């Protein structure tokens, strides 16, 4: 029987890893990385980008939103927006990898890890597609 983490469990793990500054490779090897270091030759998010937690009507606005990395490459899309009691996003269940649904998996991302670009109507992450695919799969 295959074990799967809940979204809350994965978000908690991802938050701890983010606080410690340990990336996916560092988590496996125990080496620490500089989480504030920009990706190689990657631009910063656009000036008009805002925290995903501050998006008005987040449930409707962010559901099915495309997620891009800092280079503009598509890395996934939002399956589910999880809201706190005040209606602000706390985490997302994100579809990553695969092609036309084949080989894809769902992972959890903390809302604080994403920026919203209202001009392009996309979420922006500093993680690469490979880093997202390395996150634990979530079910449900």
Structural domains of the chain in order of their starting residue, each with its CATH number:
7-133 (2.30.30.240)
In tens, the pLDDT along 122-137 reads: 999 999 999 999 999 9
Q: What confidence score (pLDDT) does residue 55 get? A: 96
CA distance 20 to 4: 23
| Report for 4-8, 20-24, 27-31, 68-72: range of highest mean pLDDT | 68-72
In tens, the pLDDT along 9-61 reads: 544 444 434 433 334 333 333 333 443 344 555 566 677 899 999 999 999 99
* H helices present in 5-128, as ranges: 7-20, 24-29, 58-62
118 CB-near residues (< 8 Å, 6+ apart): 48, 49, 50
Give the whole-number percent of the chain exceeding pLDDT 70. Answer: 64
76 CB-near residues (< 8 Å, 6+ apart): 66, 67, 94, 95, 96, 97, 107, 129, 132
Q: Is residue 70 pLDDT above 50, yes or no?
A: yes
Chain-wide mean pLDDT for the chain? 77
The phi, psi pair for 7, rounded to 5°, reads: -60, -45
The phi, psi pair for 2, rounded to 5°, reads: -85, 130
Tokens of 106: 């769902």
* DSSP, residue by residue, 8-29: HHHHHHHHHHHHHT--HHHHHH
Q: What confidence score (pLDDT) does residue 126 get? A: 95
Coil, helix or strand at residue 127: coil
């Amino acid at each position: 029987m295959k074990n799967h983490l809940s979204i809350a469990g994965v978000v908690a793990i991802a938050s701890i890893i983010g606080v410690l500054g340990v990336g996916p490779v560092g988590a496996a090897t125990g080496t620490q990385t500089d989480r504030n270091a920009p990706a190689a030759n990657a631009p910063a998010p656009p000036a008009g980008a805002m925290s995903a937690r501050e998006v008005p009507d987040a449930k409707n606005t962010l559901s099915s939103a495309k997620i891009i990395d800092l280079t503009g490459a598509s890395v996934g899309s939002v399956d589910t927006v999880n809201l706190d009691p005040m209606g602000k996003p706390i985490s997302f269940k994100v579809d990553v990898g695969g092609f036309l649904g084949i080989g894809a998996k769902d992972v959890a991302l903390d809302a604080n890890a994403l920026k919203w670009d209202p001009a392009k109507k996309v979420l922006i992450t500093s993680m690469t597609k490979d880093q997202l695919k390395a996150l634990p799969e979530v079910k449900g």
